[in-house]
């Protein structure tokens, strides 16, 4: 099950014992030069509610916020043990989710005992001050701001630094080689920026690393094999980083790894990496890494696995019998491979949250005549289709007639637009591996769970709480979300060309000057199996959050089915405004025929009926002409008799 990743403490135990020292004796005070430094720091940050009428180390209101909910901490912490408990020094500044609008303060160097600066989720801009080189910081967290520029090479001089977090910013440039000489670094988190170039060779020396994350960047080159030097590493995250494969075999030497996530690698096809020594793995994600060959037997020996995601590779063959040992795993995703054979009975009868969609399994006694069995998703799990092109698990469904349009209000109730256009409801709560078939001519398949949030039941339906001002706002008040892959599948469609309109509005981010506006949602769009939009960004295309954008495509239906798929390829922020916010979002789908349909009510007129109608029409014409001819002749006869 999901568990919160607890950040290891970085303040010394002796310091923590004094972190909430009070003025009980009336003696301990903060030196005036540090008070003045705090005044200047407040000006730089745009912090306006520090109460300078009292001593900053007093613990009074304005310096320690009473509401200390996780993620909203707001406190200046002091150590008041100096000079026989008569002098205090600031050791920590934590200002989370304050929407501070200013810049990073160079004046931190004026707080000589400062060990922690945490400005997570604010609205700070500008660059990281190189002056910080002179500090004794242990923890720097700047996650979720608007920071630009490069990482100053001067930070390598902070020999005490153990944690450096700059995820979800707009930093760029090459990583300075000097950063490879940080002697104490344990957490190095750089995801969701615009870093370029290769990882410096000097990083081979970061042997103290325990957590390294570089997802969603624009790096080049291959994943370096020197990561095998990081023997203390417990978490490695390289998703959509820009780096090429293969996955270096040296990863197998990192026996303390409990969380390994590599996805969306460029490069050639490679066999499954030899990970059999990684017996402590709880999370293993090797998604879209061009891995070929068979599933290795040793994966079944990783009984500590909670999440196994090998989706969208080119894995072949049957599921090994050793996988039966993974019955206690929380999530297994084998989506989008070339797996064959029978689906193991333990998966169908005992497995939880298993997704086998988009494979080549055998249709037969394994139960593939259904698209969902318990929490096992079997949508398109066999390549066999019937004459109409229907996916195998729907082959028992017979089309009573053909439709020529599909309208879905994704994530919401049924609505009627412009009096005549009815949008179907789409309110199934789904799950990590789910197939849903509507009462009309469409269905959807959803794959994935939102990682790193603390919600056991991922919210896959979203409802906007504010007022929207666009045309037809009822289509954008709700949306369906997906952590990985979401497919809408229309069937029993008449063959021909169709206009596909996809309706989007970003209703999780805001359009203001807060950290909630800084998220970047990026995903890919496929229609009929073809990539039609790479790196689609709703906010960018709509011109802001809370605004509608409709993308238009033409689709050709030749086998009476239409497939629209949205896929998260590892890009975009994953923690704005909260952890676990990413992946596809769709508000509504409109599909309409672009040709003359046989009838207005959506039913097909058979060929025999068409022949009958033509024959009846011809008969009527001949009958009318015959009557006119008879009347004409009769009139002539009467005139002759009268003459």
How do residues 73-88 score in pLDDT, each as one tens digit?
A: 999 999 999 999 999 9
- Which residues lie below 8 Å from residue 413, measured CB to CB, with a gap of 6+? 425, 427, 478
Instruction: Locate 147 and state its tokens.
Output: 């920071």
Q: Whose CA is closest to 253, among 224, 233, 282, 283?
A: 233
- The CA distance from 41 to 107, in Å, is 6
Retrieve residue 418's tokens: 């412009």
How confident is the model at residue 573, as a pLDDT? Answer: 98
- pLDDT (0 to 100) of residue 322: 97
Q: Which residues of the chain have pLDDT under 50?
A: 1-25, 366-367, 385-388, 600-614, 620, 624, 629, 633-643
Q: From CA 154, how far away is CA 177, in angstroms rounded?
A: 11
The pLDDT value given to residue 430:
81
pLDDT reported for residue 320: 97
pLDDT (0 to 100) of residue 17:
39
pLDDT in tens, 324-356: 999 999 999 999 999 999 999 999 999 889 999
Q: Looking up tokens 């789910």, which residue turns up?
A: 434
SS3 content of the chain, % helix, strand, coil (to 5): 20, 30, 55
pTM greater than the 0.85 cutoff: yes
Q: Which residues in 240-312 belong to E strands, given as ranges? A: 259-263, 270-271, 283-287, 291-294, 307-309
pLDDT of res. 458: 77
- pLDDT score recorded for residue 454: 75
**What stretch of H or E contains 611?**
helix 607-642
* Strand order across the beta sheet in which 530-537 lies: 433-437, 442-447, 485-490, 562-567, 522-527, 530-537
Q: Are 551 and 504 in contact (CB under 8 A)?
A: yes
What DSSP letter does each residue of 298-354 carry, written as one string?
Answer: GGGG-TT-SEEE--SSEEEEPPPGGGGGGTT-SEEE--SSEE-SPPPHHHHHT-SSE
What span, in angstroms and rounded, lies between the C-alpha atoms of 45 and 144? 15
User: According to the 3-state scheme, what is the secondary structure of 414-466?
Assistant: CEEECCCEEEEEECCCCCCEEEEECCCCEEEEEECCCCCCCCCCCCCEEECCC
């Amino acid at each position: 099950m999901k568990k919160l990743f607890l950040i290891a403490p970085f303040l010394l135990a002796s310091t923590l014992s004094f972190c909430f020292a009070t003025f009980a004796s009336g003696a301990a005070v903060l030196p005036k030069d540090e008070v003045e430094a705090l005044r200047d720091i407040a000006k730089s940050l745009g912090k306006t509610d520090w109460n300078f009428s009292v001593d900053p180390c007093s613990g009074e209101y304005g310096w320690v916020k009473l509401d200390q909910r996780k993620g909203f901490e707001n406190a200046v912490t002091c150590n008041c043990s100096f000079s026989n408990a008569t002098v205090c020094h600031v050791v920590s500044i934590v200002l989370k989710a304050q929407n501070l609008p200013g810049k990073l303060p160079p004046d931190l160097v004026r707080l000589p005992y400062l060990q922690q600066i945490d400005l997570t989720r604010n609205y700070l801009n500008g660059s990281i001050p190189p002056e910080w080189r002179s500090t004794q910081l242990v923890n720097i967290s700047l996650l979720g701001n608007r920071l630009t520029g490069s990482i100053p090479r001067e930070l390598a001089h902070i020999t005490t630094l153990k944690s450096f977090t700059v995820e979800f910013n707009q930093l760029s440039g090459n990583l300075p080689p000097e950063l490879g000489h940080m002697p104490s670094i344990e957490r190095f988190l750089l995801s969701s920026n615009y870093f370029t170039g290769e990882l410096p060779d000097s990083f081979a020396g970061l042997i103290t690393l325990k957590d390294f994350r570089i997802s969603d960047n624009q790096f080049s080159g291959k994943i370096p094999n020197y990561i095998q030097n990081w023997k203390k590493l417990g978490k490695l995250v390289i998703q959509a980083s820009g780096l090429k494969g293969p996955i270096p075999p040296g990863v197998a030497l990192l026996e303390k790894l409990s969380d390994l996530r590599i996805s969306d690698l460029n490069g050639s096809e490679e066999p499954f990496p030899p990970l059999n020594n990684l017996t402590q793995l709880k999370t293993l994600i090797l998604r879209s890494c061009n891995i070929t060959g068979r599933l290795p037997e040793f994966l079944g020996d990783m009984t500590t696995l909670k999440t196994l995601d090998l989706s969208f590779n080119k894995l072949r063959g049957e599921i090994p019998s050793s996988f039966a040992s993974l019955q206690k795993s929380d999530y297994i995703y084998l989506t989008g491979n070339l797996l064959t054979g029978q689906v193991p009975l333990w998966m169908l009868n005992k497995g939880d949250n298993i997704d086998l969609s988009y494979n080549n399994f055998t249709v037969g006694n394994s139960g593939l005549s259904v698209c969902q069995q318990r929490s096992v998703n079997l949508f398109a799990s066999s390549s066999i289709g019937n004459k109409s092109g229907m996916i195998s698990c729907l082959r028992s469904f017979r089309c009573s007639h053909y439709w020529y349009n599909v309208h879905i209000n994704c994530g919401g109730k049924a609505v009627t637009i412009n009096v005549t256009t009815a949008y179907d409801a789409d309110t199934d709560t789904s799950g990590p591996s789910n197939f849903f078939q509507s009462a009309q001519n469409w269905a959807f398949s959803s794959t994935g769970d939102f990682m790193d949030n603390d919600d056991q039941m991922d919210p896959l339906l979203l409802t906007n709480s504010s007022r929207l001002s666009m045309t037809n706002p009822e289509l954008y008040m709700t949306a369906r979300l997906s952590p990985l892959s979401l497919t809408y599948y229309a069937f029993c469609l008449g063959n021909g060309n169709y206009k596909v309109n996809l309706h989007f509005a970003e209703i999780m981010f805001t359009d203001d000057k807060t950290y909630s506006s800084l998220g970047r949602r990026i995903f890919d769009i496929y229609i009929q199996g073809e990539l039609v939009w790479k790196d689609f960004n709703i906010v960018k295309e709509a011109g802001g959050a809370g605004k509608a954008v409709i993308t238009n495509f033409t689709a050709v239906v030749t086998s009476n089915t239409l497939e629209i798929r949205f896929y998260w390829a590892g890009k975009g922020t994953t923690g704005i405004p909260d952890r676990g916010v990413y992946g596809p979002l769709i508000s509504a789908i409109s599909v309409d025929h672009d040709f003359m349909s046989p009838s207005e009510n959506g039913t097909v007129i058979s060929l025999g009926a068409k022949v009958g109608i033509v024959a009846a029409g011809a008969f009527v014409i001949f009958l009318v002409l015959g009557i006119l001819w008879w009347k004409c002749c009769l009139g002539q006869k009467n005139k002759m008799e009268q003459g």
